[in-house]
Amino acid sequence: MSNFRSAQDKAHPNKSSTLMLAIITLLILIVALQIWLLYTGLNNALTQHADVALIACIVSVLLFVAAVGLLYFLPGKRR
Amino acid sequence: MEQQQETVPDWKTDFPYSTVETLQVTRRQFAKFLCLVSGGLAAGSALVAIKSAFFPEKEVTGEHFVCNRTALPVGGTRSFTIAGSTIPYILIHLENGEFKAYEQKCTHLSCAVFYQAGTNKIMCPCHNGWFDAATGEAIQGPPPRPLPSLQVIVKGDEIYVTGHPKNS
Ligand code: FES
């Protein structure tokens, strides 16, 4: 049976390398956004704006889910 | 003797490992680590949101006597705490005659802040942060938030402070 994984495993190493770099770039972007969200949420929570902290939390969790989802596309180990 | 040295020791066949694998981080591992960091940050945000939604800071209630009006000349300041709490506050007699009370805790890293007489500014010596003495607004330097303030009530010769009425 042919699926996404087996096709990916057959791809040229250059292709999987590019994909790997793209995923890592996206992950770093996500983490940077989350650091900013945490900082903003904390500052607003300390000025009694709990609503901003709540939205920052929701977005941060969504970004985490996206990050975990990205892991699915990681190319497999070299054999 | 030489033959003995060349044979692979038993523990290596029992626990085979590759030097490269133990010394280098693969891009797969790095990506997974970034995910872990991402999860940690999401958890941190969640903690902040839960703390601020369900366990907010206690508001100052009731009026608290600080000092007599005559004890505080224009440009003078007085540190005080409120009974039942350890937060340091500072009462300032501004040059325009107004009284202001702020938390004496920089919003950057909690250093004690001081009023600079004549400049209308409150200064934090730790990292050169400045606040507007009239509003508590952060005007320069690293402090990210305004200084939390108390409401000042002058009754004849006596000065009292109280929390701000809830703005709902
Ligand atoms: S602690 Fe006040 S500026 Fe850093």
Closest-lying ligand 1 atom to the alpha carbon of residue B143: 3
pLDDT of residue A79: 52
Contact at CB, B34 and A42, closer than 8 angstroms: no
Distance CA B2, CA A58 (A): 66
C-beta separation of B42 from B145 below 8 A: no
Distance CA A2, CA A14 (A): 21
Q: What percent of chain B is helix, strand and coil (3-state, nearest 5)?
A: 25, 30, 45
The Å distance, Cα B125 to ligand 1 centre, comes to: 7
C-beta separation of B112 from B104 below 8 A: yes
Average pLDDT taken over every residue of chain B: 86
The percentage of chain B sitting over the pLDDT mark of 70, rounded to a whole number, equals 94
How many angstroms separate the first and last alpha carbons of chain A?
20
Angle between helices A50-71 and A13-46 (to 10 degrees): 170
Distance CA B145, CA B113 (A): 14
Residue from A75, A67, A66, A69 nearest A5 by CA: A75
C-beta separation of B140 from B123 below 8 A: no
**A63 or B97, which is more confident?**
A63
B136 lines ligand 1 (CB under 6 A): no
Mean pLDDT of B139-156: 89
Interface of A with B (CB under 8 A): 20-21, 23-24, 27-28, 30-31, 34-35, 37-38, 41-43, 45-48, 50, 53-54, 56-57, 60-61, 63-64, 67-68, 70-71, 74-75, 77
If DSSP states are collapsed to H, E and C, what string results for B119-163? CCEEEECCCCEEEECCCCCEEECCCCCCCCEEEEEEECCEEEEEC
pLDDT tens figures, B20-57: 878 888 889 999 999 999 999 999 999 999 988 888 77
B141 lines ligand 1 (CB under 6 A): yes
Taking domain B64-162, whether its CATH number is 3.40.50.620 is answered by no
CA distances to B17, B18, B27, B35, B125 from B21, in Å: 8, 5, 12, 21, 50
CA distances to A22, A59, A63, A66, B37 from A33, in Å: 17, 10, 9, 12, 12
Domain ranges of chain B: 2-54, 64-162
The Å distance, Cα B6 to ligand 1 centre, comes to: 64
Considering only the beta carbons, identify the residue of B30, B39, B53 that sits closest to A64: B39
pTM of the model: 0.77
Domain ranges of chain A: 13-71
Distance CA A3, CA A49 (A): 48
Tell me the chain A residues in contact with residue B45 when contact means C-beta distances shorter than 8 Å.
34, 37-38, 41, 53, 56-57, 60-61
Lowest mean pLDDT among A7-21, B59-73, B90-104: B59-73
* Cα radius of gyration (chain B): 29
Mean pLDDT of A10-39: 93
Pairing of strands B149-155, B158-162: antiparallel
Distance CA B151, CA A45 (A): 21
Contacts of A17 (CB under 8 A, 6+ apart): A75
Mean pLDDT of A26-32: 97
Q: Chain B: give the shortest CA distance to residue A67, in Å.
A: 6
